[in-house]
């Protein structure tokens, strides 16, 4: 059997990529047809249960070596782009951009959704309640600090329901201009990460004032 060269393998990969692109466009055509049918019957254009079924079915059928988690990531973007063909999906989230909530929103809805940052948790609820956004993403619980009480209070007063849960791993970093901890004069962050890091702050910066600001992104800026 003739051993394949690097050029041969690359040519085969190009051929597979061409087939994938052809299939993606064929899938997109079907999605557009589905969108027309939904519009005619006034059905919801986004059905989260259907999306979960797709992930579960494909991951269950995956025999590798393509990693299972990557299957979900790839198809999340395919589904996100497909939904954008049916109708623009606007998602409000507790911002600003580059916060953990923003990252969780991208993780769940993909990059083709229209992600709109809001200045507060009540503003996220308002966007969804008034129909300006289809979904809203807000922090609910942290494994070390427990429930986010402000969010729970909003659910008590709102007709909105929880549709899905997004699990997102949190890492906090201490940023400074010099990189030397002895130069730090004050620490700025959101109240939630301040609480999550209180033991570290007490041990390493016991005499440095801590200032509560609107978000970790604002603090970094």
CATH number at residue 203: 3.40.190.10
State how many domains the chain has.
3
Statement to judge: residues 79 and 93 lie in one domain? no
> Containing H/E element for 142?
strand 141-142
Statement to judge: residues 161 and 208 lie in one domain? no
Instruction: From first to last of the 221 residues of the chain, give the pLDDT tens digit.
Output: 678 899 999 999 999 999 999 999 999 999 888 888 877 777 776 778 888 899 999 999 999 999 998 999 999 999 889 888 877 789 999 988 888 899 999 988 888 889 999 988 999 999 999 999 999 999 988 777 777 787 888 888 899 999 888 898 888 889 999 999 999 999 999 888 898 899 999 999 999 999 999 888 888 88
Statement to judge: residues 120 and 146 lie in one domain? yes
Look at residue 13 and tell me if it is in a domain: no
Say which residues have a Cβ less than 8 Å from residue 95's Cβ, sequence separation at least 6.
101, 102, 117, 118, 119, 215, 217
CATH number at residue 76: 1.20.59.10
Structural domain boundaries, residue 68: 21-32+48-85
Look at residue 145 and tell me if it is in a domain: yes
Statement to judge: residues 81 and 146 lie in one domain? no
């Amino acid at each position: 059997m003739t051993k394949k060269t690097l050029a041969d393998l690359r040519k085969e990969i190009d051929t597979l990529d061409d087939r994938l692109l052809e299939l993606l466009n064929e899938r997109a055509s079907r999605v557009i047809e589905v969108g027309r049918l939904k519009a005619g019957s006034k059905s919801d254009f986004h059905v989260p249960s259907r999306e979960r079924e797709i992930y579960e079915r494909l991951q269950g059928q995956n025999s590798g070596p393509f990693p299972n988690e990557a299957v979900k990531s790839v198809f999340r973007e395919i589904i996100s782009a497909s939904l954008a063909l049916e109708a623009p999906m606007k998602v409000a989230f507790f911002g600003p951009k580059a916060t953990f909530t923003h990252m969780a929103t991208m993780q769940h809805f993909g990059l083709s959704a229209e992600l709109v940052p809001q200045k507060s948790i009540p503003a996220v609820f308002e966007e969804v309640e008034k129909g300006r956004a289809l979904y809203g993403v807000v922090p609910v619980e942290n494994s070390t600090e427990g429930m986010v009480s402000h969010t729970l209070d909003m659910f008590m007063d709102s007709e909105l329901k929880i549709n899905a849960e997004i699990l997102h791993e949190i890492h906090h970093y201490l940023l400074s201009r010099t990189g030397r901890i002895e130069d730090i004069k004050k620490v700025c962050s959101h109240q939630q990460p301040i609480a999550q890091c209180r033991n570290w702050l007490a041990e390493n910066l016991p005499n440095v004032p801590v200032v509560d600001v609107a978000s970790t992104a604002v603090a970094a800026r």
